[in-house]
Structure 1
Amino acid sequence: MKQILKLTFVMTLIAVISTITLISLFKMLYPKNVVQRPALPALNFSGAYSPIIQNDISVVYERANPAVVRVTATRVVQGNEEGDLDFPEGHPDVDKRSRGVGTGCIVDKSGYIITNQHVIDSAEQVRIRLIDNSEVPAEVIGADKATDIALLKISAKNTLSVMPLGDSSRLRVGETVVAIGNPYSYDRSVTTGIISATGRKVFNTLYEDYIQTDAAINVGNSGGPLLNLAGELIGINTVIRADANGISFAIPINQIKQIIAQLKTYRRVVRGFLGVQPDNISNEIRDGLKLDNNNGALVTHITNDSAAAKAGLQVYDVIIKFGGKPVFNKDTLYRYIAETAPGG
């Protein structure tokens, strides 16, 4: 009995000592006179734009979505175009109608819509589905195959929401972007990602200057918006790498502004012609010509009777400015020339 009482006393003593030790340790770690630091403020987005709320994708979507449309292009497909059997002329199955679905952006309250040229290519009829699910016919004002941009126009009974245009020259690699579209006819799907790179080429044609993004882009997203966190249109989604994941491309809005201005006025794009064949400046050319750097475009050929010939340009001249703007390489020179109206 005495042994039991002794054991109980020892256990109680150990418990009391443990409690006192814990209380003392707590007071040492959290003294009353210590003032707790206030929580750090959320990072303020200090970029080129004024975002709605940092990383609030839902608000960007809610603001931009009313100006997003579904574009349905109908065209006639000949019977043997898709591997069908050859039918005699006049057979009811000779002509079929194929419907392609893409996306578009309303950019003007009077009904102008931007989409991709390949979305409406060879279409005999184009229809637009608006945010209220109403459908209206669209007129193709003009299209430019070289940049894959088309301008449509609709007449709507209700007031149209308009997507504000951003400034793609102020984009930064790594900033968050939002894409809205109709992939595989899943209307108004939203995806997010970042800008992976700018100034990309895909098909190595003259006027390519793509924004690369890892935002999910699929069939049906073509012609849809790529947005910054301010809800501004910074690009039109147009190309995906089918053999890769997370590699998609959008046409920058600053290039689009030049195109739609001409399509609206002339229904086509008229590009300037200087009459030079430029090339980039390699390290060997830089050293051989004793240049300070690799900026500029090297003249390798001049067309007879062209503006360049009349201006006195010669082979091996280096063009470092055009219209007061710096020329970094042959691609920037081509773009500057293309954006200059003939005779300008």
Structure 2
Amino acid sequence: MISFLTHWPARISFSLLALFLCTISVCVAQEQSSKTVPRGGCPDLIELIKELTPAVVNISIERHMLQHSSTEPPPLFRSKPGALEDQSRTKDRFQADSVGSGFFCDTQGHIVTNAHVVEGAGKILVTLSTGRVTTARLVAVHPKVDLAMLKIASSSPLQKAKIGDSAGIQVGEWVVAVGNPFGLGRTVTVGIVSGKGRFLGLGPDDNFIQTDASINPGNSGGPLFNMAGEVIGVNTAIIASGKGIGFAIPSNYLHELIKLPTNGEFAVRGWLGIYVEDVTPEQAKKLGMGTPRGTWVDEVLTSTPAQNAGLKKGDLIVDADGKQIKNGRHLSKVISSFKPGDILKMKVIRGRQQQAVDIVLGKSPE
């Protein structure tokens, strides 16, 4: 955390310089030729931000299944638990608090966010720009990309974000990211579209917008606006080893999400009923692995699909649905593609022997 604090002043200076140069360049361009004005112009960011932020919300959740840290940095914004992560684990290993972002897509309380933000959530809390905190429920999940829709109850109309056409964006146009990085609500950063159609290997429908607007864990699910105040992307991923390399799901996928049934049909996912812990490099070496893979069963809850199938503490899950399991998060992602009642075929190592286990998945308890 200290390293972040020591770098903030420099980042702020560069951001102010960038905005100052942007203002100068636009003014000069307007005097010389209207053809060189940036697409959509470069409006007063203060007024634009005042207009946009009421539509953005902070999301915090409690997860049913606590998964210990992966051995490698996750590429997705997996809702960083916070600075007191280690302490909270020792105090209460049955609950994991995490944060993310979202925005209203209509005035009736429907909120767009990333599916991974609310994956495995037992309780979802939404904080509005007014400071009001309310519970939300998951009502739809996009079948192809990392998008989900929540719903809150509201007695009065809410301010919605305008959805833009991501097909028309151009590399070099200015964008604004609004979100909840590290729990710092309604943080605003500015950058440009750095690339289009990026494939990250996260799924067959990868088609990310690349931006250098500063986004961090907790920005997941937050909007990426163009200078017309339209959402042209949903901030989703970063390259952990890079700087200023963020990715957003194009807004045109939102039309598919909004059309999905909101009766919860897509929100119900399969559940095992276990706590897991990833394989450490030291353990991998003892097991003769080149790199750590798989995830240990740390605890099996009573009266759950895992217990009914005979899973035991100390089992090493190495395969699920024919996929070699990398870590606990990978296992969670595989399970999330199944529904209650589906049979999940797994391979576990118990002692020194590999065993096949078929599990009839259940529904996560509320």
TM-score range relative to shorter protein: 0.5 to 0.7
Deviation of the 1:262 alpha carbon: 1.8
Which segments of 5 or more consecutive residues in structure 1 lack a partner in the other structure?
A: 1-38, 84-91, 270-344
Structure 1 residue 97, shift from structure 2 partner: 1.4
* Aligned partner of residue 177 in structure 2, secondary structure: strand
User: Among 233, 240, 247, which residue is 1:249 paired with?
Assistant: 247
Distance 1:46 1:266 in 2: 48
Contact preservation (8 Å) 1:235, 1:253:
yes
Change (3 A) 1:204 1:157: closer
Counterpart in the other structure of 2:31? 41
Distance change in 2, residues 1:194/1:81 (3 Å):
closer
The within-5 A match list for 1:317-336 is none
1:121 aligns with 119
Question: Which AA in structure 2 matches 1:150?
Answer: A
Amino acid at match of 2:31: P
Aligned to 1:205: 203
Cα root mean square deviation, aligned:
2.8
| Separation of aligned partners in 2, 1:204 and 1:123 | 21
Equivalence for 1:178: 176
Question: What residue is the counterpart of 1:75 in the other structure?
Answer: 63
Query: After superposition, what is the alpha-carbon deviation per residue over 1:70-127, rounded to whole angstroms, capped at 9, x for unaligned?
Result: 011111345x8569xxxxxxxx967521111000010101111000000000001111
Match of 1:62 in 2: 50
List structure 1 runs of 4+ shifted beyond 4 angstroms. Answer: 42-49, 80-83, 92-95
Secondary structure of 2:162 counterpart: coil
CA distance in 2, matches of 1:107, 1:47: 30
Shift of 1:48: 11
- Aligned equivalent of 1:223, options 216, 221, 234: 221
Amino acid at match of 2:54: P
Q: 1:42 to 1:200 in 2, by over 3 A?
A: same
Q: Are 1:201 and 1:210, in contact at CA under 8 Å, matched by a contact in 2?
A: yes
Structure 2 Cα separation of the partners of residues 134 and 260 of structure 1: 25
Q: Distance in 2 between matches of 1:98 and 1:182?
A: 17
8 Å CA contact 2:60, 2:99 repeated in 1: yes
CA contact (8 A) 2:62 2:122 kept: yes
Indicate the SS of the match to 1:217.
coil
Residues 257 and 246 of structure 1, relative CA distance in 2, 3 Å threshold:
same
Contact 1:136–1:156 (CA<8 Å) still a contact in 2?
A: no
- Flag the structure with larger Rg: 1
Which letter does structure 2 place at the counterpart of 1:229? Answer: M
The equivalent residue for 2:342 is: none
TM-score by length of 2: 0.55
- Greater shift, 201-210 or 259-268, is seen at 259-268
Q: Give the Cα–Cα distance (whole angstroms) in 2 for the partners of residues 76 and 265 of structure 1.
A: 22
C-alpha contact 1:76 1:95 (8 A) present in aligned 2: no
Closer, same or farther: CA 154–44 of 1 in aligned 2, 3 Å = farther
SS at match of 1:131: coil
- 1:308-333 CA distances to partner (integer Å, 9 max, x unpaired)? xxxxxxxxxxxxxxxxxxxxxxxxxx
User: What letter matches 2:250 in structure 1?
Assistant: P
Structure 2 residues not aligned, in runs of 5+: 1-28, 71-89, 268-366
Distance 1:173 1:133 in 2: 36
What does residue 3 of structure 1 align with? none
Determine the C-alpha separation between the residues in 2 that align with 1:42 and 1:54: 16
CA–CA distance in 2 between the matches of 1:216 and 1:48?
20
The residue that corresponds to 2:100 in the other structure is 102
Give the number of equivalent residue pairs.
220
Separation in structure 2 between the aligned mates of residue 204 and residue 47 of structure 1, nearest angstrom: 36
Q: 1:139 to 1:266 in 2, by over 3 A?
A: closer
Q: Which residue of structure 2 aligns with residue 339 of structure 1?
A: none
Q: Counterparts of 2:134 and 2:224 in 1: how far apart (Å)? A: 24
Instruction: Label 1:110 to 1:245 Cα distance change in 2 as closer, same or farther (>3 A).
Output: same
Q: Superposed, which structure 2 residues align to 1:275-314 within 5 Å?
A: none
- Give the percent of matched residue pairs that are identical in Structure 1 and Structure 2: 35
After TM superposition, give the deviation of residue 203 of structure 1 in Å: 1.7
Whole-angstrom distance in 2 between the partners of 1:169 and 1:145? 21
Distance in 1, matches of 2:37 and 2:266, equals 35
Cα distance in structure 2, aligned partners of 1:196 and 1:104: 23
C-alpha displacement of 1:62: 1.0
Structure of greater relative contact order (alpha carbons < 8 Å, 6+ residues apart): 2
* 1:15-74 per-position Cα deviation (integer Å, ceiling 9, x unaligned): xxxxxxxxxxxxxxxxxxxxxxxx96376588997x4x6242222211110000001111
Partner of 1:261: 259
Q: Structure 1: how far apart are the matches of 2:178 and 2:107?
A: 20
**Distance in structure 1 (CA, Å) of the matches to 2:60 and 2:257:** 22
